[in-house]
Amino acid sequence: MTAETRGILDTSVVIDRTTVDPAALPDTWALSAITLAELSAGPLLTDDPAIQAERQIDLQWAESTVEAIPFTSDTSRIFGQLCGLVRAAGRKPQPKALDPMIAATAVEHNVSLYTRNPKDLQGLDPILTIVEL
């Protein structure tokens, strides 16, 4: 018998959910509130009505599928540590600040982060388990 897997899905997994193999997902998963924030901004960041509609569907799917884990004061402290790791890896955290925020949620809850974009999380592996899908 294998142990149950738990994890947080990165925004990239939500966006690509129709092409991700369901067998590759953790048995139990959640989303960070930061993912909902990212998805909420998505439709407003384009003028293309077709892309707006796709992004709105992603947001509605996420909101109706699972309750998001809040970004708390504890999460913000972990976020600071992850930004230090990003800097130590030779990258600047600001352009991709939401990625370490989502990662901080996973670290706080001691679960893996499932992503389609592991390069966005480069340098965080000392304290984060990253699962590439």
Condensed to tens digits (0 to 9), the pLDDT of residues 45-87 reads 999 999 999 999 999 999 999 989 999 999 999 988 988 888 8
Task: Tell me what the mean pLDDT of segment 5-24 comes to.
Answer: 95
Let me know if residue 1 belongs to a domain.
no
Residue 39 makes CB contacts below 8 A (sequence gap 6+) with: 11, 14, 55, 58, 59, 62
65, with CB counted inside 10 A (0-12, 13-18, 19+), is middle
Model pLDDT, residue 7: 97
> Lowest-confidence range among 54-58, 87-91, 104-108?
87-91
| Statement: residue 104 has pLDDT above 90 | yes
Domain total in the chain: 1
Average pLDDT, the chain: 92
Model pLDDT, residue 4: 80
Model pLDDT, residue 39: 94
What whole-number distance in Å separates Cα of residue 13 and Cα of residue 33? 15
What whole-number distance in Å separates Cα of residue 80 and Cα of residue 47? 34
Let me know if residue 69 belongs to a domain.
yes
| Statement: residue 6 has pLDDT above 90 | yes
Model pLDDT, residue 60: 97
> Domain residues for 107?
6-132
CB atoms within 10 A of CB 45: 9
Model pLDDT, residue 86: 84
What whole-number distance in Å separates Cα of residue 118 and Cα of residue 27? 20
Residue 47 makes CB contacts below 8 A (sequence gap 6+) with: none
Model pLDDT, residue 46: 92
Give the global pTM.
0.87
For residue 48, the domain's CATH number is 3.40.50.1010
H or E, element range at 40: helix 33-41
Model pLDDT, residue 2: 61
